[in-house]
Amino acid sequence: MEIKLFCPGTIANLSCGFDVMGTCLDTVGDEMIVRKSNQKGIRITKIVGADLPLETEKNVAGVAGLALLEKLDADFGFEIEIYKKIKAGSGIGSSSASAAGAVFGINALAGNRFTRKELVQFAMQGEVLASGSAHADNVAPALLGGFTLVRAYNPLDIVRIESPADLFATVIHPQIELKTSEMRSVLQPMVSLKSAIAQWGNVGGLVAGLYTSDYQLIGRSLHDEIVEPLRGKFIPHFESVKKSAMENGALGCGISGSGPSVFALSQGIETAQKVAAAMRNIFEDTDIAFEIHVSGINSEGVKII
């Protein structure tokens, strides 16, 4: 009748993979309780840790859940409690954690009618509410774990990629909010052929590096020709953080999602922690509050606690 979930944070885009690539974090995430109710529909009964709407149609978890409920044709409903630990607008998948957790929990209590991969299409409806775009680069890794590549959106075609064993993520979150919808508005609708070719090569290189556990190839591929030059200027000290991360051994460094969080991938936990210390040193000299996370890659996605 009731389950408690860990709803993981995610890093989307991964520099070169705008709207098509993402990965799932192991130590960063929300918690959620989903329970069956005799009353049809979905009710958000409690939100702790964030000032978010309880109205079902205004909450990403509610909207994603309603999309799934429409297909389930159930004669019962659900209540959802959300315990937010990922700040909204952080760039590490706050909305996708809620959307993914809601559809996973509802599906589990309804008899697992859909696979995790099939649940992505419902969770994407929550992203429409959050950002105005039905992108899957956060919700796919949140549900499937590991790394994911969205090969196509129509029809939805997602490839899950297992993470190399010694790959770790460092994420620094400056305590400012950059809304995904606003950060999408700064993007240019047209890109040069030269930039597009470079980006295709990097996406292919990143996928190949992940499959072959070629850490140096992964690092060479974590380069963004198209989005980072437009968004980086909105993130305080972005260039300094990136330079410091690379000087301290990171394979690559870039903007997490739409920012303001900045991520780095490293080979080995020791290097990831060294990168975290370097990032911390930069922001300790500012008046901007911040959080730093060091995490392995979550291979499971949303999980029952």
Catalytic residue, chosen from 31, 127, 225, 228, is: 127
Active-site annotation holds for 127: yes
Radius of gyration of the chain (CA): 19
293 contacts 272 by C-beta, under 8 angstroms: no
How far apart are the two ends of the chain, measured CA to CA in Å?
A: 15
> Does the CA dihedral 56-62-63-67 come out positive or negative?
negative
Three-class secondary structure of residue 304 per DSSP: strand
| The two structure tokens encoding residue 40 | 């049809």
Active-site annotation holds for 180: yes
DSSP track, 215-282: HHHHHHH---SSSHHHHGGGSTTHHHHHHHHHHTT-SEEEE-TTSS-EEEEEESHHHHHHHHHHHHHH
Catalytic residue, chosen from 10, 23, 170, 180, is: 180
Nearest-angstrom CA–CA distance, 157 and 151 = 5
DSSP-H helix ranges across 37-179: 60-72, 94-109, 116-131, 139-144
In terms of Cα–Cα distance, which of 157, 160, 32, 34 is closest to 107? 34
> Does the CA dihedral 107-109-111-116 come out positive or negative?
positive
259 contacts 289 by C-beta, under 8 angstroms: no
Nearest-angstrom CA–CA distance, 102 and 142 = 12
In terms of Cα–Cα distance, which of 137, 107, 139, 135 is closest to 120? 139
> Which residues are annotated as catalytic?
127, 180
